[in-house]
A and B are shown apart, each in its own frame.
Chain A
Amino acid sequence: MTKPIYLDYSATTPVDPRVAKKMVPFLFERFGNPASRSHSYGWDAEEAVELAREQVAQLVNADPKEIVWTSGATESNNLAIAGAARFHKARGRHLITMTTEHKAVLDTMRNLEREGFTVSYLAPKPDGLLDLDAFAAAIRPDTILASVMHVNNEIGVIQDIARIGAICRERGVLFHVDAAQSTGKVAIDLDALPVDLMSFSAHKTYGPKGIGALYVRRKPRVRIESLIHGGGHERGMRSGTLATHQIVGMGEAFGIAHREMAADNDRARMLRDKLLAGLSVLEETYVNGDLAARVPHNLNVSFNFVEGESLMMAMKGIAVSSGSACTSSSLEPSYVLRALGRPDELAHSSIRFTVGRFTTEADVSSTIDLVVRNVKKLRDLSPLWEMHQDGVDLTKVQWAAH
């Protein structure tokens, strides 16, 4: 069986072969522990780790000393939010975030609620973006931290973190940004941005899984409590022997992203626009989330009058994500799309296509052909489509609920 066409780059990316090549020597020949201070094995590994730290810092225009290695963006989000909240709890116990955040943020917030913190979860506007006035209004005297993701993983919209951060600065609130989906897609200048903490992941940017980083601002210094205790690595913020080969991989991946971001984005945009144009022959197809304030490689569309699970069955030739969690036993539609105000039926029948560095034009052409053919087929089968064609307003129909 031929492998499905991979259009799920926001789930994970393959490791760029140039990255893999850099990583391999650190598994055997250069295996030293970067914390070993007494011999050249350690010094060599430490040098590689520090070079990688510079590469990561360079992509986001930060000081390498502001980069803390973690196991990934989930850990970074936990460390940033719980770490800052616990350190500053004497100052206040109120936190702010959005309903469309990643579960790594939402579940960390829920956990902090059990510790006595109060959290405000702000709904986005229908285009997926944060309402800045509502955000400013949500800040209270006891608010210590706000967390807003840079790029949404499902709909790819880009939040205006410069303006959100400016509001936080003015009101004395720490600002954390989950940037797992934005590195290599959106230019990030932490020297200029009013952001205190920022989470990164390697595997969304052609690096390996299992490695990430947290940016912790030094000027003015941001204090956080560590979650993992041990040898005091990473200036006490994250203990544990550094995974040299993973770190080298993340550094190289971010270095490539720094050099090639513009070209990557131009190509991704061309492919995404071709896909959107190809799918636009289908009526009653809706793009979820703002198209302008959006990363170039993401297309999230809902196909009206077809059911989500049958749609996913039809997509077996391509690897994509669905807004419907039908792979689990629950039939819960995407909480992100529901937060945008999409009805359940449209949330269920959504598909997230994310293209990437190794997607070809032929991949996109085949995808258009497959999706158009199958949506038409399912609509031919759909009594709802038939009623729509006959001019029946489906919202006015009395359904026999079961």
Chain B
Amino acid sequence: MAYSDKVLDHYENPRNVGSFDKNDLSVGTGMVGAPACGDVMKLHIKVGPNGVIEEARFKTYGCGSAIASSSLVTEWLRGKTLDQALSIKNTDIAEELALPPVKIHCSVLAEDAIKAAINDYRTKQQPAA
């Protein structure tokens, strides 16, 4: 398998690895994938009072392309509003990393992780009934 230079760079030097306190109300968690499928992504976003993503962190169990996809989105998410973040498409990720067709699912997973994290954050903001 030949990896693009960008995938190799993110694999060698993953950005924003880690976690936030998932119980913090300003934090949204997205956990997608399954071990049996070969990839699990966990994405944390920290949202400021102005609704802008201040920081993102990830941990990924998966191939180099999955690690690179999640590492890349943590860079992209920073400074974006939630709606801007939701507009990130898997095709943007796949294009940026030059993912081969067999690795497109890694970019799909990263997009799903963003959606799941934002969904989690928004759910948390609703006052308990």
Is the beta-carbon distance between A399 and B36 smaller than 8 angstroms? yes
| A-chain residues with CB within 8 Å of residue B61 when the two chains form the complex | 305-307, 381-385
- A400-B34, A402-B37 known; A327 vs B59 contact (CB < 8 Å): no
A38 is an interface residue with CB less than 8 A from chain B: no
Q: What mask results when residues 21 to 60 of chain B are scored 1 for a CB within 8 Å of chain A, else 0?
A: 0000000000111111111111000000000000000011
Q: Which residue of B lies closest to A309 (CB)?
A: B63
Is the beta-carbon distance between B64 and A331 smaller than 8 angstroms? no
Q: Which of A344, A348, A400 has the most CB of B within 10 A?
A: A400
Is the beta-carbon distance between A313 and B38 smaller than 8 angstroms? no
Instruction: Give bound CA distance, A399 to B39, whole Å.
Output: 11
Is the beta-carbon distance between A399 and B59 smaller than 8 angstroms? no
Q: Enumerate 7 A-B pairs (CB-CB under 8 Å) in ascending A order.
A: A310-B67, A327-B1, A385-B61, A399-B35, A402-B33, A402-B37, A402-B112
Q: Within the complex, which residue of A309, A310, A383 is in contact with B59, where a contact is CB–CB below 8 Å?
A: A383
Q: Within the complex, which residue of B35, B37, B38 is in contact with A309, where a contact is CB–CB below 8 Å?
A: B38
A326 is an interface residue with CB less than 8 A from chain B: yes
Q: Within the complex, which residue of A305, A326, A383 is in contact with B41, where a contact is CB–CB below 8 Å?
A: A383
Q: Within the complex, which residue of B33, B67, B102, B105 is in contact with A381, where a contact is CB–CB below 8 Å?
A: B67
| B-chain residues with CB within 8 Å of residue A394 when the two chains form the complex | 35
Instruction: Give bound CA distance, A295 to B76, whole Å.
Output: 51
Instruction: Give bound CA distance, A196 to B35, whole Å.
Output: 45
Report A's interface with B, CB cutoff 8 A: 305-310, 313, 326-327, 329, 331, 343-345, 348, 380-386, 394, 399-402
| A-chain residues with CB within 8 Å of residue B36 when the two chains form the complex | 343-345, 399, 401
Q: Which residue of A lies closest to B100 (CB)?
A: A329
Report B's interface with A, CB cutoff 8 A: 1, 3, 11, 14, 17, 19, 31-42, 59-64, 66-67, 102, 105, 108-109, 112
B10 to chain A, nearest CB (A): 11
Is the beta-carbon distance between B34 and A399 smaller than 8 angstroms? yes
Is the beta-carbon distance between A381 and B17 smaller than 8 angstroms? yes
Q: Within the complex, which residue of A383, A385, A401 is in contact with B37, where a contact is CB–CB below 8 Å?
A: A401
Instruction: Give bound CA distance, A345 to B39, whole Å.
Output: 10
Is the beta-carbon distance between A381 and B63 smaller than 8 angstroms? no
- A307-B39, A310-B64 known; A400 vs B59 contact (CB < 8 Å): no
Is the beta-carbon distance between A307 and B38 smaller than 8 angstroms? yes
Instruction: Give bound CA distance, A327 to B102, whole Å.
Output: 12
B97 to chain A, nearest CB (A): 14
| B-chain residues with CB within 8 Å of residue A402 when the two chains form the complex | 32-34, 37, 105, 108-109, 112
Additional A-B contact list (10), CB under 8 Å, known A310-B64, A394-B35:
A307-B61, A307-B63, A308-B38, A309-B38, A309-B63, A309-B64, A381-B60, A383-B60, A400-B32, A402-B32
Q: Which 8 A-B pairs have the closest CB atoms?
A: A399-B34, A309-B63, A383-B42, A383-B59, A382-B61, A384-B61, A313-B64, A401-B34
| A-chain residues with CB within 8 Å of residue B42 when the two chains form the complex | 383, 386
Q: Which residue of A lies closest to B35 (CB)?
A: A345
Q: Which residue of B lies closest to A330 (CB)?
A: B102
Is the beta-carbon distance between A399 and B40 smaller than 8 angstroms? yes
Instruction: Give bound CA distance, A313 to B33, whole Å.
Output: 21
| A-chain residues with CB within 8 Å of residue B108 when the two chains form the complex | 402
B13 to chain A, nearest CB (A): 11
Instruction: Give bound CA distance, A145 to B19, whole Å.
Output: 59
